[in-house]
A and B are shown apart, each in its own frame.
Chain A
Amino acid sequence: MPAADVEETAVLKKCLVLLAKMSGRLAQIDRAQFPTDESEAARGLLALGIDNLRTASAQFKPSPYALYRQLLVIQQLLDDVESSSIDYIAWPVVSYINEIWSKLFAGKPHQVFFTRWAEYNYGIYNFTEALGRALEGLIPSGSLAVPADTAIYCLRLASIEVDNIPLYANIGHELGHVLFHLRSKEVTAIWGRYSESLAGLILAKLTDNAKQADLFALPTRLQKIRMILDSLVEELTADMVGTLLMGPSFFLSLQEVSWSSTTRDVWTARMFVKPGFASAYPGFNFRLGLVSSTAGVQEAFKDVEREYARLDPSMRMGFPDLGGTSSWADGNDRIEVMPESDVDQRVLQRVLNECLPEAKKAFEGFAREVLELLAGDVGLPEASAEVVSRNIAQLLVRLAHGIPPNIVPSNAPGKELLGIPAEFSDILQAASLYRMSLLAGPSFKADESGARKLSEIEGLVRKGLEVSYIQRTYPPRDAAEGSGDGSSELPGD
């Protein structure tokens, strides 16, 4: 047998062994450990795909090398399903997210399952599409019996979440990506209006003193810049959805993520070899400033502080100056374009930097209008800002007394003993604020006792999320159903 054939046979056998192993791994997953039932949908889909691939590999003999490449991709999908476990993921939190998801995509075939990501970051991707792409060309088209309208998304949570629940507000941003794709037509139309003058400026910068070679490269460069701007538009849209869903708690969680960033005023853009694809992120200064101003973060924190002081004057809590990002709109931001190996990298980076002040203005106007557009999708908050501040202050008082922030006391009939389960975003906001005030406070000791204190708060917040979620789902038994405004001075429990 020729050497090439020997190798092909070996690769094919290796692939078949790998497929058998993957089937075994899938079968061994403990489904009782799934944080939500949607993980089972992903597991089932993947099992079907692998079964079909095993059959097709035996019958149709695809290219062993192509099969091997794609199996590596499928293994990543399997890793995601395997890591979807309550060992790593606080299920009450993701149950809340699931609730938000169901409201956001009511009537759509969209489902989401949650998994742990080793990176200190979040991500969401369409699991169904990713599996479909991985199987493309390897099995006869249409043989993966996925209903055409199935869309299972995988939401990857930063591994640090197990001990850092307030960061969960960042998930609002990830849901924003899905909403962006659903509403891309309307969102793109808004961006079109705000980017008209920017487009002219970019064109002028690209053609200024241009040589013949530059003019030849112009269409490609314009295309690359468009991809970068589109990616920035998507990120900012996702930020606005995060703001709408989570309010000021989104600001706090985004701020915490930014702590790991070395330069908050740097925007990044990365172009990929794959044609028509770039990923770009605005600088944290700009993102935080935009979120702070659109969510009214400073005002909200002042209201909470005032309410807190009124509720418990003996335990004044000083919130550090949060949300004040005065230089975000006119700061000295810059953009870095990668990779350096791209032939147009230098030109694009220069032009984008020269246009950045104008772009920031366009992005700000765009983001504010997108916020209004998507407010209808997300739905208006049930409670007024005043009530929310009062409720968060109540939750802070509980945390300060070593009690979980699970209910807001109420004097509504039938609720005097039970209270009203606290809102998810209110719990997150109270948790973030309390932790921040502790960390920034002069009496906090950054040693083992401080670690114990923070761990205690994490425990209280986790408990608060868990029992408030269960209390929401528990069917009411009492005849007297209170209405009320969701807040009162009367302690419950």
Chain B
Amino acid sequence: MAVLNCQEIKHRIRDEQDYDKKLLVTPVLCEDQIGPASVDIRLGSSIVVSRKTYVAALDVTKQQTEPEVEKRLYERIRLRYFKPFVLHPNEVILAGMFEYLSLPDDLFATVASKSSWGRLGLVIATASIVQPGFRGSLTLELCNLGESPITLYPGLLIGQLVFYDVKGPRGERYGGKYSCPTEAEPPSFAGTSADEEMAFWREGPRQV
């Protein structure tokens, strides 16, 4: 596995014509966004904040209640560009990435904070792996671990993507729960195999 450098990233973005094989990060607003071995990403305008009022606890193993819990627990908010919003200490929000990402089958990516923000205590991603074949705007988990509130604006460069070659024959494309998301998405634990897995751990082995 090798990390793509600047030239390789530009080549994969620019020269491949087939959208299924192309690396796509769009829009890149300036070429400076592409660093020596990464692409800087910006904060988008869609965020999800949690409402703690109505839900005693979130038991993700109970699938049938998930859509209802999503409505009760999360609020989708759209931010305006050029207007501030404040992330308070210990607050966690979900925020959509400004760019739209499309990974071909032979690349996977990781997301990391920009170091300056990290030093302020801002963590932008805890689930930082992006699978080959993913298409969409990533949902970042923003958390202020610092002591002071942090003012943010949609469009600010807050993170970076690092791309890696995936060895071996091309596998299946990403077919996960989040299909072409363009906004911040609340968590979803749905899916047949996930349902069975959750049920096992909630109910224990079934008697035959």
Contact = CB atoms under 8 A, between A and B. Distances in A.
A493 B155 contact: no
Contacts, number: 101
A467 B78 contact: no
B28 A418 contact: yes
A402 interface: yes
A460 B136 CA distance: 9
Interface residues of A, number: 40
B81 interface: yes
A172 interface: no
B54 to A, nearest CB: 20
Interface in A448-483: 452, 456, 459-460, 462-463, 466-468, 470-471, 474, 476-478
- List the 4 closest pairs (A to B, CB-CB), nearest first: A459-B182, A401-B19, A463-B182, A477-B30
A34 B29 CA distance: 25
A456 B25 contact: no
Contacts of B59: none
Interface string B40-81: 000001000000000000000000000000000000001011
Interface string A384-416: 000000000000011001111011000000001
A452 B80 CA distance: 26
Contacts of A93: none
A462 B182 CA distance: 8
Q: Which of A416, A463, A470 has its CB near the most chain B CB atoms (within 10 A)?
A: A463
A133 B25 CA distance: 52
Nearest to A474: B29
A421 interface: yes
Nearest to B22: A491
Given A419-B26, A456-B179, A491-B14, A463 B100 contact: yes
19 contacts: A91-B78, A397-B19, A398-B19, A402-B135, A403-B100, A407-B26, A417-B13, A417-B14, A418-B27, A418-B29, A456-B179, A456-B180, A459-B180, A459-B183, A468-B27, A490-B14, A491-B14, A492-B14, A493-B24
Given A417-B10, A452-B179, A493 B26 contact: yes
Nearest to A404: B100
A32 interface: yes
A404 B135 CA distance: 10
A460 B25 contact: no
Given A87-B78, A417-B10, A406 B27 contact: yes
A314 B50 CA distance: 44
B97 to A, nearest CB: 10
Contacts of A300: none
A468 B28 CA distance: 11
Nearest to A462: B182
Contacts of A452: 179
B182 A470 contact: no
B17 A491 contact: yes
B186 interface: no
A131 interface: no
B29 A471 contact: yes
Contacts of B78: 86-87, 91
Contacts of A86: 78, 80
A417 B28 contact: yes
A467 B100 contact: yes
Contact of B27 (A460, A471, A489): A471
A401 B20 contact: yes
Given A87-B78, A417-B13, A421-B27, A493 B22 contact: yes
B34 interface: yes
Q: Which of B31, B45, B182 has its CB near the most chain A CB atoms (within 10 A)?
A: B182
Nearest to A411: B14
A460 B45 contact: no
Nearest to B96: A463
A406 B26 contact: yes
B87 to A, nearest CB: 15
Contacts of B13: 417, 492-493
Q: Which of B45, B83, B137 has its CB near the most chain A CB atoms (within 10 A)?
A: B45
Contacts of B26: 403-404, 406-407, 419, 467, 493
B98 interface: yes
Interface in A259-275: none
Contact of B98 (A33, A467, A478): A467
A463 B137 contact: yes
